[in-house]
Chains A and B, each alone.
Chain A
Amino acid sequence: MNFLHFWALGIGAVALAAPVAVHFLTKPKPVRFGLSTVRFLREAIEQRKARSRFRDWLILLLRTLCVALLAMALARPLFQERQAVPTTGEANAQRVLVIDQSQSMTAGSGGLTNWSSAVVSATQYLESAQGLKAAVVFAGAKPRAVFNELSPNLAALREAVMQAKPLAERCDPRAALEVAAQILEKVKAEKKELIILSDFQRSNWGTLLLDLIPQDTQIQFHSVSIPDSGNIAVTSVRFASEPVVGQPVTMEVEIANYSDREVEARCNIDLQTWKRTLTAKILPQSSRTLSETVTFDEEGWRSGWAKLESNLDVLPSDDERPIAVRVRPPVSVLLISRQNVQEIPSSSFYIQQALQVALMGDESSNDDRSSTKSKTVQRVHPSRDALRTWPTADVFVLDHPGSLEEEALQMLASQMRRGKGLLYITSEMVDATNLQQFADLLGNDFQPPVDMIPPVENAARKDLFVRKVQSRDGPFSVLGTNNAAPLLKPVRFQGGLATRASANGMSDQILAELSDTSALMYLSSVGSGQMAVLNADLMRSNWPVQPTFLPVLSELTKSLLAQRGQGDQAFSGEPVVRVLPASLTSESKLQARTVEGTPPNDGDFGKWQWSAGQGAMVWSWQEPPGPGIYALDENAKSAWMVATSAPAIESDLSSLDKEVLTQRLSGGREVGFASAETNEQGSDDLWSWLIAACLLGLIGEIAALRWNRM
């Protein structure tokens, strides 16, 4: 605690004698008076003696206290936090500064931001002092140290701090502290200091651990957070499904209101040819998703921005969010089957018919249904049609494919890794072999929940029924959570393969089980795509003629497409790895560019090269800047786009309390705490409390006098 007017304390100390003098010197001069009843007076005095004496001392104490409090109030006390590390440079100290460089540090008002406060405080900590060495680590999505070791060149460090800017990315405190710990571990000096300058956002710093920092290091948290006056942000822009040419798709914009008042948000969406303004009232401390249906006329990449209009909050940088989305052509399905097209009915016939109906329903807006039907489900014979003649598709369906050649398996595996779906109707032992080969090819990318095995001898698979179905989500949810089991009751299965639980798969991938505990259907991720397995011989089952078959198959197809990109969003400052379309084969033809937003430093757009493991071109970018939209062009046409911005958690500006930092997160270590607010002006409202206490003392004195007279 410090005092603004220290002299007032001196005057107060002298004034303390006043009530004592008043108490002892200003007792009233008694009048001499004869009284015959002195003995009664003596008894009364004796009776009140203890009470009077207590009253006298109480009044003296209260008067003295009032004078002391008044003197302290006039001295204007400034209450400052205990600091483990002095604000200015200290001689022979080895000091590491970790400065939060995340997006939330741009928050501020009236020209004063968290970052500017942090810069001012950091330069104070880097003031020249004899023997002082220091290092500065900027904590963003990745830690960035100015020097990798302590340096006596404080001027250079100050310059680096002043040159630095906050980035549109999150803060990774753990990584920054690791770097700081590495620097401190090399130091042999006795006086090691670690100063963390940050707004201590709850979302970033809530899991802070100081275990990496050497025990002999003095740690100080220096908060530069402004009082949270509310922030409104666009936290997410997404599409309900992958946009398809000519088909309406719902665009969803999530807006969060972190303030304590209800706001009416106006969000402008600008996707080049398509512009809309979405308006909604958002309750305090809540978020709301605004949606709008959009139909794209052309396929290819679209980019744009979602921007809040006239939003004057403390953090303007999260008022806009870039959008990059690919509009794909209509879904196409390739049915791979050895069964004869003319063979009706057959398993593949049922599947083809059902898929055509399902996809036609999906494209109901298309006027020319007959033409779409002809294009959506195509059929190939794996042994007759050469692999290179197989058309590209979004979903591959394998039904009685027989033994697939390795090239076909590799092609299908590669397609799945890139986001395509595969539906495998297993009914023969060769299907189990094919699945095993898929598993071998895909490695860790494919971990089925069950392995297909031959049926047990003398245990014919017939009259099987659905024993267990996952109806809360997945394709069976279309039947209704409570109706799925009753609706599937009349369905009987025959044939197919027995299953056993695999070692690595997750059982919750199984969507339905048969009465012999074998899996009827499961859905598993494969890289960016999905693989669904329907373990049933449809020819020998009555399910294709049941009303439940078509909706379940339709939903299953949608599930296979769900994993596909719905726009390419990435977090700035964090690595981006994208498997590029199969059509891209030449590295040299590709050229990266900034469509809009912050350009990367030194024109670094990362690398794009052929990956044998992926079977495709892969674009990897370690530190994409942001916010912005970046494109990889081939022949002046965008082959891929990525939109980068800070994670939504950066918009929540609520900070950790001092007590949480110094007690809970310190891990039992004694740490100091400082804040920009207390450094500059201290807690300057203590005087009013002292005045109030002084008045209370006076009231107490009057009460004591009255009480004594009772």
Chain B
Amino acid sequence: MSQAIPPILNTSKTDPLRSRFFEPSKLSGLEKMQFTTSRRVEGSYSGRHIAKRRGGSGEFVDYREYSPGDDLRRLDWKAMGRTGRSYLKLFQDETDLRCTLLLDASGSMLQGGRSVDDARGSKLQWMQFFATALSHLIVVGRDAVGLCCVRNEIEEYLPPAASMQHRSLLHRSIENLRPEGETNLAVGLDQLLVQSSRRGVLLVMSDFLVPSMEPVISSFRKFRSRGWEIVVLHLVHPDEEKLPEGNAFRFVGFEGDGEVNCQLAEIRKAYQEQFQLHLKSVRTGLVSAGCDYYRIRTDESYLDVLRSFLVTRSA
């Protein structure tokens, strides 16, 4: 397993436009893999993904009996001449994928960081590496990728696009992500739904540490009802799961939760039970909403996770 969180290179000296979280040399091996989906997608341009729409060109797939109103240009005249019956030729259209990365930019994503100002080792950093790499792979695959950063509401939104310039812009946005405040994922989702003109794939990366999961699930249901495919990466830091080693701690919340003094020996087990309950409820809620759920531990290498994620997606 490669290093979980790679050291952040200050690349501004050589290429000021390149993100600190972009590691092209490590991603070269993954560029042949596609971020794909098993569902039919709705794209703007021709691409490698099966479109929902059956076009007049492309790969022939089937015949259908003509019915009044059908485009006469797709009528198989030869067959009509041979048989006397009218059939339409159906072709499978292929189009590009529109993927929107929704990143949780709330304060809780700083978990694991060295300080509020130094996010090294945090969930945020892991997410930044992952999102940068994934967006790169999507663009390399000639698909469109957009970005939506959410705190209390949408902080930044970049509609999906497939150009390299757009990718660089997106990388810059990811690099400059500064998490703070509370999470209101439901509001951000609702706002994104309003702003998105076309359907696509919504990839959400969050720790889902929200006051209530009900509105979030409700928002996901709305996306699903509009034909969106939702992929959820639930980020969990090891400290959240098991609490740090040691006994006496003064825990400080990242989202204005205040401070708690406690001795972990007394409550570690009860906490773990509580947290496992939370993980279970998140998973149950999201899966029931039709999301493709992945729980990710941020102590794992983002490249390994990305590889297995892409393999799973393309399977």
Contact = CB atoms under 8 A, between A and B. Distances in A.
A pairs with B = yes
A41 B273 CA distance: 10
Contacts of A42: 257, 260
A26 to B, nearest CB: 11
B241 to A, nearest CB: 9
A36 B248 contact: no
B138 to A, nearest CB: 28
B260 A37 contact: no
Contacts of A37: 108, 111, 209, 240, 271, 275, 278
A38 B275 contact: no
Interface in B255-276: 255, 257-258, 260-263, 265-267, 269-271, 273-275
Contacts of A32: 249-250, 252
B63 interface: no
Interface in A23-61: 27-45, 47-48, 52, 55
A705 to B, nearest CB: 9
A34 B260 contact: no
A29 B248 CA distance: 6
Most buried by B among A28, A39, A41, A55: A41
A38 B110 CA distance: 13
Nearest to A35: B251
Contacts, number: 95
Given A31-B246, A45-B262, A38 B267 contact: no
B266 A709 contact: yes
A36 B257 CA distance: 8
B266 A708 contact: yes
B270 A33 contact: no
A243 to B, nearest CB: 92
Contact of B257 (A28, A31, A38, A52): A38
Interface in B203-255: 207, 209, 237, 239-240, 243-244, 246-255
Interface in A46-78: 47-48, 52, 55
A33 B275 contact: no
Contacts of A35: 111, 239-240, 243, 251-254
B207 A27 contact: no
Nearest to A32: B250
A31 B253 contact: no
A546 B226 CA distance: 135
DSSP class of B's interface residues: helix, strand, loop or mixed? mixed
A39 B244 CA distance: 16
A31 B255 CA distance: 19
A48 B271 CA distance: 10
Q: Which of B254, B263, B271: most chain A CB closer than 10 A?
A: B271
B113 interface: yes
Contacts of A40: 271, 274-275, 278
Contacts of A55: 266
Given A35-B239, A36-B207, A37-B209, A30 B249 contact: yes
A29 B240 CA distance: 22
A701 B269 CA distance: 21
B252 A36 contact: no
A33 B274 contact: no
Contact of B110 (A31, A36, A41): A36
Given A36-B111, A37-B209, A45-B260, A31 B270 contact: no
Contacts of A27: 248
Contacts of B278: 37, 40
Interface in B139-191: none
B274 A36 contact: no
Contacts of A44: 267, 270-271, 273-274
A52 B260 CA distance: 15
Nearest to A710: B269
B271 A41 contact: yes
A42 to B, nearest CB: 6
A66 to B, nearest CB: 22
Nearest to A708: B266
A31 B250 contact: yes
B251 A41 contact: yes
Contacts of A29: 248
Contacts of A41: 251, 260, 262, 267, 271
Given A41-B251, A44-B271, A36 B266 contact: no
B26 to A, nearest CB: 28
Given A47-B270, A48-B270, A34 B110 contact: yes
Given A30-B261, A32-B250, A37-B240, A43 B274 contact: yes
A42 B113 CA distance: 22
Nearest to A33: B249
A639 B224 CA distance: 136
A702 to B, nearest CB: 14
B267 A31 contact: no
A461 B262 CA distance: 114
A34 B266 contact: no
A34 B274 contact: no
Contacts of B239: 35
A52 B244 contact: no
A55 B263 CA distance: 13
Given A48-B267, A52-B266, A36 B254 contact: yes
Contacts of A36: 107-111, 207, 209, 237, 240, 253-255
A32 B246 CA distance: 12
Contact of B260 (A38, A47, A48): A38
Nearest to A37: B240
A47 B109 CA distance: 26
A27 to B, nearest CB: 7
Interface string B61-96: 000000000000000000000000000000000000
A34 B115 CA distance: 8
Interface string A691-710: 00000000000000000110
Nearest to A29: B248
A627 B173 CA distance: 122
A440 B168 CA distance: 150
Contacts of B265: 709
A34 B269 CA distance: 19
Contacts of B244: 33
Contacts of B109: 36
Contact of A34 (B113, B209, B262): B113
Contacts of B253: 34-36, 38-39
Contacts of A52: 266
A28 B263 contact: yes
Of A37, A39, A40, the most chain B CB neighbours within 10 A belong to A37
A47 B271 CA distance: 10
Nearest to A39: B257
Contacts of B111: 34-37
Nearest to B253: A38
Given A39-B257, A709-B266, A33 B240 contact: no
Given A36-B209, A41-B262, 8 more contacts: A28-B263, A29-B248, A33-B244, A34-B253, A36-B207, A37-B271, A37-B275, A38-B257
16 contacts: A27-B248, A28-B247, A30-B262, A32-B252, A33-B250, A33-B251, A34-B110, A35-B243, A35-B251, A36-B110, A36-B207, A38-B257, A41-B251, A41-B262, A41-B267, A47-B270
Q: Which 6 pairs show the lowest CB-CB distances between chains A and B?
A: A36-B108, A28-B248, A44-B270, A38-B253, A38-B257, A30-B250
Interface of B: 107-111, 113, 116, 207, 209, 237, 239-240, 243-244, 246-255, 257-258, 260-263, 265-267, 269-271, 273-275, 278
